[in-house]
Chains A and B, each alone.
Chain A
């Protein structure tokens, strides 16, 4: 029997037995409920009568009455909102406030020459409401003056109110980068959750096999590393299936329920995020498998895995807190090349093009080498710890006392 077949058999058993287990179905259900609640709850609270408030700065446009703006949506209806007007010193100050995000938009000018200052964060419903309010005001003013002549044409055609983006130039690359940054952060969170969840499956799976003594029967026909590799891949695929399906349903739900169009993301970046997601899972799952072999019963497994959990959390925190803000530093480069931090670092750095091709290749090669080495080491630790049924032993002791 070839190595691939041996690994494949173990993998299939994991897929079949764990995939059909109640615990797997329940964890899936739990995640689905979590995601569903995440989507449904904001909508639920959004319909409870509370009203969104937009802040709009005005410069010489106070006569565009708040009444027109407030009436743009009837309060209490789904999707209603309120607009608070505040005066700004001049158009520059208003533009700065919009750009800084301290107000959502600004109205500048008066009469038949009004500008709506917006940024890319300005909600489209607000921009639309402001334009409508200004036009409405201008038409009323014209009707009130009795001067309904050819002056009505530019008003009705909307030429008297212009939306001006206060950001100097819309940078498509920067916008894509922002989107990818969000995706990279989501990837980190998903990786962290996947490692913690599926890592614990691997951990408990190995410990249970040891506790119910089936390991000795298996090891009579399998090498330890083949057993671990099959288990890690099988559990990993189940995790990928679970998280992938949840992510897919999340995307569909966001589009259908919340009516939000998701931005397009560069396929190359997605590939990098996916590759490092898989590699990250492999590294940590292998570690959890080795830990499972040195624990002497399932209740002891979580305690034995505590140091590895610390490393997982540290990797995640480094990615989120340090590298996200400092992608170009030497430390970030170093952390890219360290296999336990690379999965949390590289996708973040790839967003801002801070990671050179050689770094990516070097990190990949180091990672593959590390995983191969780690599986062998974990196999040896497994061989040293698997027949120790009475107490937990240290990983080093297990490695040294490996019997086969």
Chain B
């Protein structure tokens, strides 16, 4: 298990990490969320020793992360980095060998992964001759080629088309099923909600919320109600604690205190109106994120 505990990092007056802590367990996918500049990249760099921390510790399986341990990790930084003029296959083999694989194993692993992302035909092509999406795939493969125990990906989905997103999601799920711990950051909250077992939401260097997605949603102090009415009149003052979050035509989203049951809110909404569509449930990850960041 990867554990970040009390990470602190300052750049002069700017606080990048402020007692930041969360964990990533083997076999789990953790979504690392936060607004721009919240400290996600700093925390991820700290895992790879690319940051001189002012305080806190990073441990893997209960021990401080050593240089040798890091070679068993896979990393995809936010700023994509490949040798543009180096052919795909040679590049993947090179990174595999940097992670400790011998020549033969590295070559086999490279061929397997290049086939997995459907780039066999382009194995001899220079990276800068590939499309952006394919470069992104190769970048992912350089992080995966040595079957890492821990995979840390900074914004892996940015710039991918829907098919690319689907493919990368599948790969991450496979890695987790095979026992790897997977941590990735993203601003695509719907995707994170769909893909991740756990989340850690960071704001101003501090983890504002973390834990299994399901648990966080169940534990939330409010419920999300989506309703489509034939007409709309002022409703919120009628039920204390209910807040209108969003309105589009006759479709409305309400934030309802958890103690107000579905029947109660439904009855209130139906008063003198016709309900065409109604849903009542835990908040979405976007709701949790907004609340965590706002607080």
Interface: B79 (CB within 8 A): yes
Q: Flag if A216 contacts B50 (CB, 8 Å).
A: yes
Instruction: Report how far A23 CA is from B33 CA in the complex, Å.
Output: 44
Q: Which residues of A contact B185 (CB under 8 A)?
A: none
Interface: A214 (CB within 8 A): yes
Interface: B210 (CB within 8 A): no
Instruction: Report how far A146 CA is from B75 CA in the complex, Å.
Output: 104
Chain B nearest CB from A235 CB (Å) reads 15
Interface: B97 (CB within 8 A): yes
Closest to B99 in A: A221
Closest to B9 in A: A403
Q: Flag if A219 contacts B71 (CB, 8 Å).
A: no
Q: Which residues of B contact A223 (CB under 8 A)?
A: 67
Q: Flag if B71 contacts A216 (CB, 8 Å).
A: no
Chain A nearest CB from B99 CB (Å) reads 6
Q: Which residues of B contact A212 (CB under 8 A)?
A: 81-84
Q: Flag if B94 contacts A9 (CB, 8 Å).
A: yes
Q: Which residues of A contact B49 (CB under 8 A)?
A: 404
Interface: B51 (CB within 8 A): yes
Interface: A217 (CB within 8 A): yes
Instruction: Report how far A214 CA is from B98 CA in the complex, Å.
Output: 13
Interface: A73 (CB within 8 A): no
**A216 with B85: in contact, given A1-B100, A221-B99 (CB under 8 Å)?**
no
Contact partner, A217, options B51, B67, B142, Cβ 8 Å: B142
Interface: B80 (CB within 8 A): yes
Interface: B115 (CB within 8 A): no
Instruction: Report how far A9 CA is from B106 CA in the complex, Å.
Output: 13
Instruction: Report how far A403 CA is from B49 CA in the complex, Å.
Output: 8
Interface: A222 (CB within 8 A): yes
Interface: A52 (CB within 8 A): no
Q: Which residues of A contact B97 (CB under 8 A)?
A: 9
Closest to A9 in B: B97
Q: Flag if B77 contacts A213 (CB, 8 Å).
A: yes
B85-102 vs A: 1/0 string, CB under 8 Å?
A: 110001000110111100
**A17 with B73: in contact, given A221-B99, A223-B67 (CB under 8 Å)?**
no
Task: Report the tally of A-B residue pairs with Cβ distances under 8 A.
Answer: 69
**A221 with B52: in contact, given A212-B82, A216-B81 (CB under 8 Å)?**
no
Chain A nearest CB from B156 CB (Å) reads 13
B40-71 vs A: 1/0 string, CB under 8 Å?
A: 00000100111110000000000000011011
B185-206 vs A: 1/0 string, CB under 8 Å?
A: 0000000000000000000000
Interface: A330 (CB within 8 A): no
A9-44 with Cβ < 8 A to chain B: 9, 13, 16-17, 21
Contact partner, A220, options B70, B84, B100, Cβ 8 Å: B70
Q: Which residues of B contact A213 (CB under 8 A)?
A: 77, 79-81
Interface residues of A (CB under 8 A from B): 1, 6, 9, 13, 16-17, 21, 209, 212-223, 387, 389, 402-404
Closest to B154 in A: A216
Q: Flag if A220 contacts B82 (CB, 8 Å).
A: no
Q: Which residues of B contact A220 (CB under 8 A)?
A: 48, 50, 70, 73, 75, 77
Q: Flag if A403 contacts B70 (CB, 8 Å).
A: no
Instruction: Report how far A387 CA is from B85 CA in the complex, Å.
Output: 22
Q: Flag if B85 contacts A404 (CB, 8 Å).
A: no
Instruction: Report how far A386 CA is from B291 CA in the complex, Å.
Output: 36
Q: Which residues of B contact A21 (CB under 8 A)?
A: 85
Q: Which residues of A contact B50 (CB under 8 A)?
A: 216, 219-220, 387, 403-404
Closest to B76 in A: A217
Contact partner, A403, options B51, B67, B100, Cβ 8 Å: B51
Most buried by B among A214, A220, A223: A220
Instruction: Report how far A402 CA is from B50 CA in the complex, Å.
Output: 9
3 closest Cβ pairs, A-B complex: A213-B81, A214-B81, A213-B79
- Given known contacts A16-B90, A17-B86, A403-B51, what 17 new A-B pairs fall within 8 Å (CB)? A1-B68, A9-B97, A21-B85, A212-B83, A213-B77, A216-B50, A216-B79, A217-B75, A217-B81, A217-B142, A220-B50, A220-B73, A220-B75, A223-B67, A389-B79, A403-B45, A404-B51
**A221 with B98: in contact, given A17-B85, A213-B80, A214-B82 (CB under 8 Å)?**
yes
Q: Which residues of B contact A17 (CB under 8 A)?
A: 83, 85-86, 90
Q: Flag if A6 contacts B81 (CB, 8 Å).
A: no
Contact partner, B77, options A216, A402, A403, Cβ 8 Å: A216
Closest to A387 in B: B50
Instruction: Report how far A359 CA is from B100 CA in the complex, Å.
Output: 43
Chain A nearest CB from B105 CB (Å) reads 13
Q: Flag if B81 contacts A215 (CB, 8 Å).
A: yes
Q: Which residues of A contact B100 (CB under 8 A)?
A: 1
Q: Which residues of A contact B51 (CB under 8 A)?
A: 403-404
Q: Which residues of B contact A221 (CB under 8 A)?
A: 70-71, 98-99
Chain B nearest CB from A383 CB (Å) reads 8
Pairs across A and B, CB under 8 Å, 10 listed: A1-B100, A6-B98, A17-B86, A217-B75, A218-B81, A220-B70, A220-B77, A402-B52, A403-B52, A404-B50
Closest to A218 in B: B98
Most buried by B among A222, A402, A403: A403
Closest to B68 in A: A1
Instruction: Report how far A215 CA is from B94 CA in the complex, Å.
Output: 14
Instruction: Report how far A209 CA is from B79 CA in the complex, Å.
Output: 12
Q: Flag if B83 contacts A214 (CB, 8 Å).
A: yes
Q: Which residues of A contact B142 (CB under 8 A)?
A: 217
Contact partner, A404, options B52, B77, B80, B86, Cβ 8 Å: B52
Q: Which residues of B contact A387 (CB under 8 A)?
A: 50
Most buried by A among B68, B73, B77: B77
Contact partner, A222, options B81, B84, B98, Cβ 8 Å: B98
